[in-house]
Amino acid sequence: MIELLSFKLFAQDLAIIGLVALCIGMAKTGVHGAGMIAVPLLATVFGGKLSSGVLLPMLVFADLIGVRYYNQHASWKHLKILFPWAAVGVLAGTLAGAYIDDKIFKMIMATIIFLSVGIMIWLEQGGKEKIPNSKVFAATTGIAGGFTSMVGNLAGSVMAIYLLAMRFPKNAYIGTTAWFFLVTNWFKVPFHLFVWHTVSLDTVLLDMLAIPMIGLGAYLGIIIVKRIPDRWYRWFIIASTLVAALFMIV
């Protein structure tokens, strides 16, 4: 047992935190499914609700890297529609969090990811024509994205559905996602601090120790994504999400 700040951790817990930081860095530079693997991993150390607060400072830092690298590719036309509705979703998730225990948390995570995989495959098989390219679809996505981001940091799969439906090319996909999560995650901070009490000075200091692994993950993510042709990136998103889904039930 290692006492670190106010946490009592085993060596394997520290290894998991390092792996989570690596996955988060990769996710923010385009390796989509890595971020979803990180969520259940960290929950094994801190439990469901607390892990979402421990993860948040890592996400905020990694978002800065993603925005810095892919900033010029973001679609602000879509982001301006999504942001207000995502705020509504975060508020709803904050209220719902009071009634979600760790068991329900894990069920929600698994359900979100498996549904997302199914919808992504459906989109690639021609489902796009049945989805309205409208503000209603964007509003629904924004609310769902904000809610799932607050409850389980799993909005990546929700945003993947929207951006795949919009037929975004690779860099536009990553740039738009990076800005969406940078703004959404910063918006979540006060609720974690003052309502859920899952973010503290100790969680921030713990996450600061993981910054080198986040940076390494971001670097690896950039290298991996550069090697994936645009035409294959959409299926890469689906495949990495499926891997995360399977990881949830192992």
Tokens of 44: 């094994």
Judged against a pLDDT cut of 80, whether residue 153 lies above it is answered with yes
Judged against a pLDDT cut of 80, whether residue 123 lies above it is answered with no
Beta-carbon contacts of residue 91 (< 8 Å; ≥ 6 apart) = 146
Cα–Cα distance, 152 to 6 (Å, whole number) = 23
Q: pLDDT grade, residue 48 (50/70/90)?
A: confident
> In the block, which residue shows the tokens 């495949």?
239
pLDDT at 164: 83
Give the global pTM.
0.90
Number of domains in the chain: 1
pLDDT at 211: 96
Closest CA to 120 of 24, 34, 249, 233: 233
19-37 pLDDT per residue, tens: 999 999 999 999 987 888 8
Single-letter amino acid code for the residue at 197? H
195-208 pLDDT per residue, tens: 999 999 999 999 99
pLDDT at 242: 80
Tell me phi and psi for residue 7, to 5 degrees.
-100, 145
Q: DSSP alpha helices (H): ranges in 29-169?
A: 32-46, 48-70, 76-96, 102-124, 135-152, 155-165
Determine what percent of the chain is predicted with pLDDT higher than 70: 95
Could you list the residue range(s) of the whole structural domain that residue 177 is in?
A: 2-249
Cα–Cα distance, 79 to 84 (Å, whole number) = 9
Judged against a pLDDT cut of 90, whether residue 122 lies above it is answered with no
Judged against a pLDDT cut of 80, whether residue 250 lies above it is answered with no
